[in-house]
Amino acid sequence: MPKMKTKSGAKKRFRVRGSGSVKRAQAFKRHILTKKSTKNKRQLRGSTSVHSTNADSVRAMLPYG
């Protein structure tokens, strides 16, 4: 049986943690930053987990994650 392919877009955006939850970067931090407040940009730092309603579809895109 052939190997399953990982979606390359998901491979670049998500990492599976040891606990099985999926880590993602915060959105809205890439461009058009001048109109956003310093507080808003500061709170968008770091990473967070994928919401439970989307976690199954993300895990399907990462079969070996």
DSSP state of 6: P
Q: Could you report the per-residue pLDDT of 1-60, keeping only the tens digit for each?
A: 899 999 999 999 999 999 999 999 999 999 999 999 999 999 999 999 999 999 999 999
In a domain, 3, yes or no: no
> Which one, of 50, 18, 46, lies nearest residue 61 by Cα?
50
**Domain at 41, CATH number:** 4.10.410.60
In a domain, 20, yes or no: yes
Q: Which domain holds residue 23?
A: 8-61
Q: Tokens standing for 44?
A: 């968008």
The predicted pLDDT at position 65 comes to 85
In a domain, 50, yes or no: yes
> Which one, of 14, 1, 2, lies nearest residue 60 by Cα?
14
